[in-house]
Structure 1
Amino acid sequence: MLRKILTRFLRPYWLLLLGVVVFQVLQSIASLLLPNINGDIINNGVAKGDAGYILGRGLLMLLITLGQAACSIMAVYFGARTAMSFGRDLRGAIFHRVGEFSEREVAKFGAPSLITRTTNDVQQVQMLVLMTCTLLVSAPILSIGGIIAAVNEDATLSWIIVVAVPALLIGVGLIITRMVPQFRKMQKRIDAVNRVLREQLTGIRVVRAFVREPVEVARFDDANAAVTETALKAGRLFALMFPFVMLVLNLSSVAVLWFGAVRVDDGDLEVGSLTAFLLYLAQILMAVMMATFMAVILPRASVSADRIGEVLETEPSVRPPQAPVTTLRMHGQVELRAAGFSYPGADQPVLHAISFTARPGTVTAIIGSTGSGKSTLVNLLPRLFDATAGEVLVDGEDVRDIEPDLLWSRIGLIPQKAYLFSGTVASNLRYGNPDATDDELWEALEIAQGAEFVRAMPEQLQAPIAQGGTNVSGGQRQRIAIARALVKRPEIYVFDDSFSALDTATDARLRAALDREVGDATRIVVAQRVSTILDADQIVVLEHGRIVGIGTHDELLHSSEEYAEIVASQLSIEEAA
């Protein structure tokens, strides 16, 4: 998966990668030249006392060093540009794929995990790209070139390299194999921390209302401790790596000096050549160390790439049509023909053979006990889910065949949990229609019974709204959400229990305003309170995902036992109050 992601997202930046390779090669060649020149200065300059030779070769070393520094800067620049562009494109691809997901796929991964995969996991792969650009090209050149140059200086001492390099690779390999499982655990435990933190921040009111702060602190501490424990295990293994590398390097250097001194004393090796061999040995081992550093990053990046690949390769269950319908003949008629829905692997469908028609200018209410499938049913209209059986038609066309933008332009959905975005009242209202004027916003607020409290705010339409609308009450949040749909002026309104936070008087005024202002539209209302749907043109009663009654309020009182029980239970509560 890692190779697939790198190939796909690095392909547009092959010119930058070529620049990285060119400058890394030049930098590596310069590094290989310097020890040889240094040894030459010792052998032919210092030993003979030739100051001019020393000065000339020293100047050459200075120029090569300056060129090496320039190449290093350019290589890092191109590498950073490549890595940052790669990360941007990868995050964008994940975001766009998640944007295509239906609620089924979002629930499968979970919001905290999707956030981690878009941020932390991308960062791990991005770091691999950066390190690859800055280290991986030069490491093999320095190691292979260093071995050749060292053998050229003195073949007899080369046995030290033959011993040192495999010892280094074996030791580091053992450490890395123990680190990989820890990295896999770490990413999952980061997901857990994000999940707990997100739950606590989102549900802070509930936490405080039930005085559960100590419990939630303990939950977070447990999740945090799990991440810390895994990070410490990986860190301890990582901490062994550099001391081991330095041990091999120092022992190898001691061996070179020990055995090289004997050869110098015997006259078989010059001091300059011994110095150059020692420098080449250091380069070889440092190159191997750089490669092992890559090997440390690679396992975690591989784990992250697998998690990213799961998102990118998950096909949305709601797919755009191959030959979409781009025009609709009618104006807001909704029809369900034996529609059903079931989750993959579920024992029982959520909805069974749902059939009814909602026509323009009418109100269709849906009522039923908790878990009867009301929200799932209305989510089939805008294709938040796709029906797994039967058909869902809008204006005579199956919603799966309609061009998505055209379908969504016909439907205004006010979800069960009204969600507002960080910004202002105006920015939230213009979410469905960016070109709406202030007058249109106020008109929508008047219909939604929200103009009064918005006018009471100091900034009115420019009043700030916190993420999720947490700085306004539940009823205010619902009215802004209703106004947002009204600004869009769709032909079909779907109210998914959108009046639940409103008092009875506000509910009645809002329904009267809707009758007056959008009476020609198709309105589908999911409700818990019977008083909200008494005047509906038809009421659909759901029980365990099946229609057990359909008709007006008066008809259902006599024909549907389930509806009569709902009415009786609510009336008894009201009378008791």
Structure 2
Amino acid sequence: MNRLLMRSLREYKKQSFLAPVFVILEVLMEVLIPFQMAKIIDTGIQGQDMNYIIQVGLELVVMAMLALLFGALAGKYAAEAGAGYGKNLRHDIFYKIQEFSFKNIDHFSAPSLVTRMTTDITNVQMAYMFTIRLLARAPIMIILSMVMTFSINTDIALLFLIAIPVLGIALIAIAKIAHKYFIKVFDEYDVLNNDVQENVNAARVVKAYVREDFEDRKFQKISQTIFKLFTKAEKIVALNGPVMTFVMYAVILIMVLIGGKAIVGGSMEAGELTSVLVYAMQILISLMIVSFVFVMIMIAEASTDRITEVMKEVPEMQDKENAVKEVKNGDIDFEDVNFSYAGKGGKLALKNVNLHIKSGQMIGIFGGTGSAKTTLVQLIPRLYDVTEGSVKVGDVDVREYNLEALRDQVAVVLQKNVLFTGTIYDNIRWGDEEASDEEVQRVCRLAQADGFIREFPNGYDTMIVEGGNNVSGGQKQRLCIARALLKKPKILILDDSTSAVDTKTDALIRKAFREEIPDTTKIIISQRVSSIEDADQIIIMDNGEVNGIGTSEELLKTNQIYREVYESQVKGRSEDE
């Protein structure tokens, strides 16, 4: 097992130690039983000594009971160790993911991380459990059985010394060939999970466009690829059984031949041959167990590599030792900012951006699709780091802040925000879990959500289903705005998050912002001129650059992009009226 992952054992080290200890004790009893049986045959039965038979028989019963007890304890501790190890691994990888930046997550993809936390960890957990129990059992059984066989007949024991290395070489060869297919299988599982997740999330779109057949074919194609890869791997692994069975039964036949001659020659007793046959079966079964665990380890090795990759991933953003933990105000400064999602040398999404926003201002950001509006605001809470230049909040470079402290003061409401399973109260309190009912209701009034919430039969105790699918798009956006307001942030960013509400509600939300949170810097990204025309400043973005800055009146005179959109939208409104 990987050393890095073994750190996750922690409080389950005791169970991991005790499981193989009891396995060894169980094996010791099982190895002594055939030896005692030989005594009964060769001494008790042939000597017709009933007392001896009863005495050794009672010893056999005690050994069998002890073997049962030790086996039960070994199974108990192995199960606890395996389940505990899996639990800690899931905990560790989940907490590691919490430290990831968007860039780290993009490196793996969300479905891939889900696969690693579920299927891969289950594979590692099962392999570990069987390793500390069965793999600990098999070598001890083989060694002790070999010792007992040597004590009875050296020629027969030497056959096993020849057979075991042959089988070992065969197992290693099979493992090397099969491993590459298991790696490919789990990569395809990532693709499969991504397809399923996308299909479920977009179920309404799929049905609206009657694309079920297309989705079925896409799923079938990925599923068939996994089937083919698994079939190839399993065909190779399946060679384990036949190879082992052939070698071992060939050994047993030769062993019977040698033993038969020895009995006829008088150098070996029939009971001893019986014991040797039992030991041979124990060795055969132990080797079959090794083969079984070996297959599990092969599968788990691929999973181990994938989990280790996540655990070794260095979070792109880490707090400095003396990170700033207090955001003074909502001032925002972009100074010569260049940004590329690919890092230095990559294509720039933002180019030479210089902005100065005062605390408490309402800022509108306007521009066409792909103009990097969202990219711009994602640099403020440090969801991504600038490639060149600096972004400052409260006169401090965002890279100098403690991440939690910074993000606690910068609330971002996206166009497609997520609601979680739970009541409306539960969802709003993501902004402040200690908030009172009155505080929750206040921010809902500011976000113009209180009205529709009270129309629900259960009001604020209404259950939100997964993803918020039982509320409309506009309702979801207003609930997300309320959740952000509850944080009492110094900076509030609305990334096209009023697109699903009507213009009257939109205006009421902005009015509430001006009156109720005047000291909070408010940044509104919108494609709708009416949502930003009363802003203190409007920033026009075009192809990753700032194309213009000013009030609505100033931009109408100086900026062609804003003027053209303004005139088309105002004309459209006039015609509608």
Residues of 1 paired with 2:243 and 2:52: CA distance?
40
Residues of 2 paired with 1:258 and 1:512: CA distance?
99
Give the AA of the match of 1:497: D
Structure 1 match to 2:553: 554
Task: Say if 1:358 and 1:524, in contact at 8 Å, map to a contact too.
Answer: no
Deviations 1:98-134 (CA, angstroms, capped at 9, x unpaired): 1111111112211110000011111111111101111
Residues of 1 paired with 2:194 and 2:325: CA distance?
41
Structure 1 match to 2:335: 337
Deviations 1:152-196 (CA, angstroms, capped at 9, x unpaired): 111122343234324433444443333212211211121121111
Structure 2 match to 1:19: 18
SS of the aligned residue for 1:549 comes to: strand
1:573: how far off? 4.3
Deviations 1:86-109 (CA, angstroms, capped at 9, x unpaired): 111111111111111111111221
Aligned positions of 1:518-533 closer than 5 A = 518-533=517-532
The question of 1:161 aligning with 2:126 is answered no
Give the AA of the match of 2:195: V
Residues of 2 paired with 1:573 and 1:217: CA distance?
42
1:386: how far off? 1.4
1:243: how far off? 4.0
Which stretches in structure 2 are left out of the alignment for 5+ residues?
Answer: none
Deviations 1:7-47 (CA, angstroms, capped at 9, x unpaired): 32235533223212321221222222112111111111111
SS of the aligned residue for 1:495 comes to: strand
1:250: how far off? 3.1
Residues of 2 paired with 1:534 and 1:53: CA distance?
105
Structure 2 match to 1:459: 458
Structure 1 match to 2:449: 450
Task: Say if 2:96 and 2:311, in contact at 8 Å, map to a contact too.
Answer: yes
Task: Say if 1:117 and 1:304, in contact at 8 Å, map to a contact too.
Answer: yes
Give the AA of the match of 2:274: T
Residues of 1 paired with 2:5 and 2:58: CA distance?
42
Moved more, 23-32 or 129-138: 23-32
Deviations 1:251-285 (CA, angstroms, capped at 9, x unpaired): 33333223312221221210011111111112222
* Aligned alpha-carbon RMSD (Å): 1.8
Structure 1 match to 2:34: 35
Residues of 1 paired with 2:222 and 2:134: CA distance?
35
Task: Say if 1:84 and 1:126, in contact at 8 Å, map to a contact too.
Answer: yes
Give the AA of the match of 1:453: F
Task: Say if 1:412 and 1:492, in contact at 8 Å, map to a contact too.
Answer: yes
Task: Say if 2:409 and 2:487, in contact at 8 Å, map to a contact too.
Answer: no
Normalising by structure 2, report the TM-score: 0.95
Task: Say if 1:380 and 1:386, in contact at 8 Å, map to a contact too.
Answer: yes
SS of the aligned residue for 2:356 comes to: strand
Which stretches in structure 1 are left out of the alignment for 5+ residues?
Answer: none
The question of 1:348 aligning with 2:339 is answered no
1:572: how far off? 4.7
Task: Say if 1:351 and 1:377, in contact at 8 Å, map to a contact too.
Answer: yes
Residues of 2 paired with 1:319 and 1:176: CA distance?
40
Give the AA of the match of 1:454: I
Deviations 1:472-494 (CA, angstroms, capped at 9, x unpaired): 11111101001111222222111
Structure 2 match to 1:49: 48
SS of the aligned residue for 2:365 comes to: strand
- Change in Cα spacing, 1:6 to 1:308, as seen in structure 2 (3 Å) is closer
- Change in Cα spacing, 1:10 to 1:442, as seen in structure 2 (3 Å) is closer
Structure 2 match to 1:205: 204
Task: Say if 2:325 and 2:406, in contact at 8 Å, map to a contact too.
Answer: no
Task: Say if 1:496 and 1:525, in contact at 8 Å, map to a contact too.
Answer: yes
Moved more, 193-202 or 237-246: 237-246
Residues of 2 paired with 1:55 and 1:576: CA distance?
108
Deviations 1:197-238 (CA, angstroms, capped at 9, x unpaired): 000000111111211111011111111222222233333334
Residues of 1 paired with 2:102 and 2:325: CA distance?
25
- Change in Cα spacing, 1:334 to 1:186, as seen in structure 2 (3 Å) is same
Aligned positions of 1:166-315 closer than 5 A = 166-315=165-314
The question of 1:116 aligning with 2:115 is answered yes
Task: Say if 2:496 and 2:527, in contact at 8 Å, map to a contact too.
Answer: yes
